[in-house]
Amino acid sequence: MISAVRHVALVGLMGSGKSTVGRRLARSLGREFVDTDTRVEVMSARSIRDIFTEDGEEGFRDRESQVLVEALDAVTSSVIATGGGVVLRDANRRSLVNHSVIWLRARPETLVDRVASSTRGGAEHRPLIGTDPLANLSLMANERRTMYEEVSDVIIDVDALAIDQIVRSCVEAVKELER
């Protein structure tokens, strides 16, 4: 089912700021905020790390896809912070087509610093980061770049921007996209 409501979805690699920016953007736009990673954890009553350990990446991706579809089918317009790998599944990319998608793009070096200092448990919370975060994030960036480009209406390079600047850029983009 395709929602008649146009949502704003933030995509990008872990550490790009989707959750932080998403909360503030939702507040600025007067919309609900949905964090797909948080919803997966609540639905599963387990952390993402535990889901990966017990059910594997495929089990996590199944839950992530279910949560994305539910968020996009909601009748109230929202801002959705997606997981970094949401674009890996064709069905997820197709689901995002009728919505406003903003790619928060950052260099892997920036992401390593942000993930290490994350309030969501840093590298401990992120099972795909491994023992060489820079190499793994660089690999993910290369593998996912074309998928992020495919779904994105707008790309915001966030490396040198403060959160408030990113939010302002997102607000401007949404206003332009939803004219």
The CATH number of residue 83's host domain is 3.40.50.300
Q: Give residue-wise pLDDT tens across range 91-121.
A: 999 999 999 999 999 999 999 888 865 544 4
- Does the model's pTM come out above 0.75? yes
Q: Say how many domains are in the chain.
A: 1
Q: Give residue-wise pLDDT tens across range 20-75.
A: 999 999 999 999 999 999 999 999 999 998 999 999 999 999 999 999 999 999 99
Q: Is residue 1 part of a domain?
A: no
CB count in 10 Å sphere of residue 113: 12
Rounded Cα gap, residues 57 and 126, in angstroms? 12
Structural domain boundaries enclosing 55: 8-177
**What pLDDT is recorded for position 163?**
96
Q: Which of 17, 173, 54, 39 is nearest to 102 (CA)?
A: 173
pLDDT > 90: percent of the chain: 80
- Of 49 and 162, which is predicted with more confidence? 162
Q: List the structure tokens of 102.
A: 């903003």
Do the Cβ atoms of 7 and 78 come closer than 8 Å? yes
